[in-house]
Chain A
C-alpha cells in the first residue's frame, strides 16, 4: 500500500519501513526480513513473503549471525529491531560476522536517542559512536519519515552493511516535500539556507534545529541547517563549504552522546582538513544515564532542547572572529 502524507504533518516512519520492504520484496526475491520479536510493522512483508520472513524471538546475537549466514549465500537481509539491543548486545556479531566480510546486511531500528521514555536500558545513545567505529559500516540517522523509505531503496544495491537509525518512529514530522532535496547516502541535506551560522544535525532533532532557525530568523539571524543524515562516510565537502559560507560558526545538535557522534565526526574533519572555525559548540547527551520523561522534557533537562539550541547558536554568531 502506498503511503499517503501531507508535508508538515505527522507520519509513522515504521509504516514507511513496512510498506517499503513489502514493495521491495517483489523486486528482490533475495530480500529477507529478520527480527528479534519486533515485528509489528513488518506484518505486510510477513504476509506477502512468509518464506523470507523470520522472527527469531529474543535472540539478537543469533538474529545478526543468521542474517550474515543468509548474506553469505547471496541474500539481502534486513534486520529490524530496537537499536539499544542490536547495537550493543549483538555488537560483536555486527562487527565480526557482518562488517569483517563486508556483507550487505541492513540493520534498521528504533529508539535512537532519549526517546520513548523507556529509561536508559531502552535508549540507544552510544550506538552511532559504536557503529562509526566499524570498518565497512555505513551509518545513517533519519528524521524525515519518508526519507527512510528512500534510504532503504538506495541501500538495496550497496555492497556492504548499513545502519539505519530512527527515533521511536511512530509519529514523525514530514520535514521535506518529496523532490525538494536530493537524498543520497553520503551527502548532507541543506534543510534550510543561511549565512550567519550552520547547525549540523541528524535524526529526530532536525525538526528542532529548523524551529531554532525559524526563531532566530525573527531577530534577523540567517541560520543554515544541515541534515547530516549520513554520519559515515561523512560529507566532508559540505562541512568545508559551510565553514566558508557561514563564517566558520558551527553548532552540532544531536540526540546521542555529545562526544562520539556527529559532533566528533565534524570535529575530526575540521582538524584533519585544517578548516578554520570561529566558533564551535556541541549539543547532545552529557555523560549521564538519563531518567524518565517525555522526549522534549529530557532534551531540555539535559541541555540540548530548543532553548539551548537557540542560545548556543546566538553564542556562535556573537563570537569574535
Chain B
C-alpha cells in the first residue's frame, strides 16, 4: 500500500534540526507558561515535547495547508492535557500562528484551551481530554482507513498514567483482533501520575510485556533521544501489515528544566517572571549538557 507524500518541498529534517525544533518547542512552552496567568500542564508537555517534534516534523504525513486531505495521517492526542504542546508543535509546522496561541490561550472564545476541541480548532483531529478515550477513537479511524483501502496511518499519543483506564485495553484488544497494522500508539512513559510516581501506588511493570501480551508489536525507545525516535518511525511495519505497534518512550516528566524534572509539584503550574528566567536558563544549561 503506497502512501502519497503530503510533505511540501525539501528533504526531511536532520536529527540536529529536529533537536533544535524540540528546543524551540520547549522554549515556547515555557514562555506560554510565563505569560498565561493560569496553570499549564508543563510537566507532561515537556516529557512529550520530543515526541511531538518528531511526529509533526518527521513521522506524520500531513499538510498544514490541506487539513482535510483524506490521505493524511491521523493524529489522536489521547493525553489531552498536553494540548498546548500539540498546538505549538502544530504552529511550528505551519498549522496555526504561534502568536495566536500566546495571545489568546485560555481566554474567552479562544480556540486554544486546556484540552483540544476539534469543533473549535479545525486541524486538530478530535476532541479529547478525558483520559483513556483516545485509543478507541484511533481504532475507529484505523478501521475506517482499512475499510476504504486507504494507506495512511493513525497515530495516537497516550500518557502511561492513562493506561490505567480499562477502555485503553478494550481498544488494545480490538486493534489486535482487527489486525490494525496501520495503528501506531506512542506512550509517553514519564512514570508519573498527577499525585504519585508510577509503581508507588499503581504497578505498571512489566509494562512492555502487557502490550506484548495483547499482541502488539512493542518498540522501546528513549523518548528524548531524537535518533531513536526517528529510527522507530523508520522501522514501522507497513501500514497494511497485521499488528498494531506501540512505541514506548521512556521519558522524564518536566524534561529540560531541572527543578521541574521528576517533581510532582510541576504536573501543572505557571511561571512568574523570575521563575521563567530560571527555567529558560535551566533549559539552556540542559541543552549544553546534552550536546557535550
A interface list, Cβ under 8 A from B: 32, 51-52, 54, 56-57, 59, 61-62, 64-75, 77, 92-93, 96-97, 100-102
Contact = CB atoms under 8 A, between A and B. Distances in A.
Contact of B140 (A52, A67, A92, A101): A67
A96 B130 contact: yes
A65 B166 contact: no
Q: Which 4 A-B pairs have the closest CB atoms?
A: A69-B140, A65-B136, A62-B170, A59-B170
Contacts of B126: 68-69, 72, 101
A57 B135 CA distance: 16
B169 to A, nearest CB: 9
A75 B144 contact: yes
Q: DSSP majority for the B interface?
A: helix
A194 B107 CA distance: 55
Interface string B154-196: 0000000000001100110110011000000000000000000
Most buried by A among B76, B117, B144, B173: B144
A73 B145 contact: yes
Contacts of A51: 147
Interface in B129-147: 129-130, 132-133, 135-145, 147
Given A59-B174, A61-B170, A72-B126, A93 B133 contact: yes
B143 A54 contact: yes
Contact of B173 (A59, A65, A96): A59
B144 A69 contact: yes
Nearest to A64: B136
B125 interface: yes
Contacts of A77: 140
Contacts of A67: 140
Q: Quick one: which of A32, A54, A74 has the most chain B CB within 10 A?
A: A54
Contacts of A102: 119
A61 B171 CA distance: 9
Contact of B166 (A54, A61, A68, A101): A61
B139 A62 contact: yes
A72 B119 contact: no
A71 B119 contact: no
Contacts of A68: 126, 136-137, 140
Given A52-B147, A61-B167, A69 B137 contact: yes
A319 to B, nearest CB: 48
19 contacts: A52-B147, A56-B177, A61-B132, A61-B170, A62-B139, A64-B136, A65-B136, A66-B136, A68-B136, A68-B137, A69-B136, A69-B140, A70-B143, A70-B144, A71-B140, A73-B145, A97-B137, A100-B119, A101-B118
Given A101-B118, A101-B127, A69 B141 contact: yes
A59 B140 CA distance: 14
Contacts of A52: 147
Interface string B82-120: 000000000000000000000000000000000001110
Contact of A101 (B119, B132, B143): B119
A31 to B, nearest CB: 11
B167 A62 contact: yes
Nearest to B139: A66
B119 A56 contact: no
B77 to A, nearest CB: 13
B178 to A, nearest CB: 7
A52 B144 CA distance: 9
A170 B195 CA distance: 50
B174 A69 contact: no
Contacts of B170: 56, 59, 61-62
Contact of B174 (A32, A66, A96, A100): A66
A65 B137 contact: yes
A93 B139 CA distance: 14
B167 A73 contact: no
B165 to A, nearest CB: 9
A50 to B, nearest CB: 10
Contact of B139 (A69, A100, A101): A69
Given A62-B167, A68-B137, 10 more contacts: A57-B177, A62-B173, A64-B136, A68-B140, A69-B76, A69-B126, A69-B144, A70-B143, A72-B118, A96-B133
Contacts of A71: 140
A124 to B, nearest CB: 21
Contacts of B136: 61-62, 64-66, 68-69, 93, 97
A97 B147 CA distance: 21
The residue in B119, B167, B177 that gathers the most chain A C-beta atoms within 10 A of its C-beta is B167
B62 to A, nearest CB: 15
Contacts of B125: 72
A259 to B, nearest CB: 28
Given A59-B174, A62-B170, A93-B167, A73 B119 contact: no
Nearest to B136: A65
A67 B117 CA distance: 18
Contacts of B143: 54, 66, 69-70
A77 B76 CA distance: 19
A74 to B, nearest CB: 8
Contacts of A62: 136, 139, 167, 170-171, 173-174
B178 A97 contact: no
B120 to A, nearest CB: 10
A59 B170 CA distance: 6
Contacts of A59: 170-171, 173-174
A282 to B, nearest CB: 34
Contacts of A69: 76, 126, 136-144
